[in-house]
Amino acid sequence: MNNHNESTSLRPQEMVRQPIGYVDRYKVVKKLFGLFKKYMPSNSSGLEALSVQIEGFIAKSSVTSQSYRFNASIVLRDLLKSKCDLSKIKVSNKTLHGIVNEKFLSSSLVKQDILITKEEVVLKLNELLHDVTELEKNGYIIDHIAKHDSEISDFISCTRCNTKFSKKNIMESTVCKYHPLKRVFSKTGSNQYPCCGETTDSTSNLRLGCKQSTNHVYRGEGINELSRITKFVNTRNIDGHNNVLALDCEMAFTSLGYEMIRLTIVDFFSLQTLFDEIIQPIGDIIDLNTQFSGVHGIDRNTALTYQAAIGRVLCNQLINKNSILIGHGLENDLNVLRIVHHKVIDTAIIYSKGKFKPSLKNLVFEHIDRKIQTGEHDSSEDAIGSMDVIKKKLGIPLNKKNW
């Protein structure tokens, strides 16, 4: 009976992509538990949870089975040498005591340097800011001045079906067949569309798309293209308070391209939602992307206009030159906001592996064991998700709001 309970409690964390098989991961969890039980005076359930979490961190820090075995062997060796002092052991340049679950932070299990003041947290956040070169490399617009010598073509490929069309004719009825979900690589060697199960080597008509629209759509790219809707604003000209804000936008396809239709801003320290509004796009709506945006309709009599929304959020108390902005793939949000801002922490960049960037859904599940985007997207849920991933990275309790 005890053996059964132990094996259940010591089950490795679920992962979207495992660097090595379950059996090998389970063996490492058991070895960690054995060491913790020997050197740490505590109840077994607490030590089991700690063992599972440490192994999960090793797995997430490893890309291949070889790197997993190496990282695991180093951790086990150092735990034995230090008699399980987690503050002396590192994986991927992070000490183990900095990544353990909140319930261990105040216990005698772990020697922990807890971030207790705003000032300490802000110093750590500043260390995570991306430099301008890195931002530009990841698609951020770093200068609000458009280049007048750059021509903008009237013809563009449809974002959904890849058909080339004229932007002038975007509101004209046509046939656009597409797959709403991106294709993923399958073990059979072909690409599969998770929305309908079709593969790229299928001969079925569904291969071209399982959904159909009467309009082509596009996403404008580059400051020249995007500035045609409205000019960019550089936040360096906006004075204001030092603050840390998590934000997320929901977008829709319109006659002018890709526009913001909802904006949520959450305060990092107080956990308060400071702004959450449905916003009217400037162009005529083609598709609200309800499946992804969660927005079912926009009442132009009550919803804020784009200009009114920007007027409210670009100010001394919200987004200004001193703000640290946190989000996932924030280049997309800043582009539809039409703002240039350099003090950014982007979880998509921080946790990227080479050219691969994880989805926010997978990131939140792997790092804080929370399921998001189970149905329609919610900008509030996404903003809080990226914020909490950063808090977990810094060892800050997710529910702490009194500083």
Confidence of residue 103 (pLDDT cuts 50, 70, 90): very low
DSSP result, 318-339:
SBSTTPEEEESSHHHHHHHHTE
Helices (H), 176-248: 222-226
Who has greater pLDDT, 191 or 8? Answer: 191
In sequence order, which residues have a C-beta less than 8 Å from that of residue 221 and are 6 or more positions away?
none
Say how many CA atoms lie within 13 Å of 334 toward its Cβ.
Answer: 31
Residue 189 has pLDDT above 80, yes or no: no
Residue 12 has pLDDT above 60, yes or no: yes
End-to-end alpha carbon distance in the chain: 45
Residue 301 φ/ψ, nearest 5 degrees: -85, -25
Which among 174, 168, 183, 45 is positioned nearest to 103, based on CA atoms? 45
DSSP result, 136-186:
HHTT--------TT----SEEE-TTT--EEEGGGTTS---EEE-SS--EE-
Who has greater pLDDT, 36 or 325? Answer: 325
Mean pLDDT of 313-340: 98
pLDDT for the residue 317: 96
Query: pLDDT of 28-50, one tens digit each?
Result: 999 998 888 887 755 555 788 88
Q: Which CATH superfamily is domain 123-146+231-394 in?
A: Ribonuclease H-like superfamily/Ribonuclease H (3.30.420.10)
Distance (Å, whole) CA 353 – CA 362: 14
Who has greater pLDDT, 211 or 82? Answer: 211
Residue 1 has pLDDT above 60, yes or no: no
Domain boundaries, the chain: 2-104, 123-146+231-394, 155-213
Contact yes or no for 220/258 (Cβ under 8 A): yes
Mean pLDDT of 392-399: 87
Contact yes or no for 216/165 (Cβ under 8 A): yes
Helices (H), 178-326: 222-226, 290-293, 306-313
Say how many CA atoms lie within 13 Å of 193 toward its Cβ.
Answer: 18
Who has greater pLDDT, 392 or 375? Answer: 392
Who has greater pLDDT, 202 or 30? Answer: 30
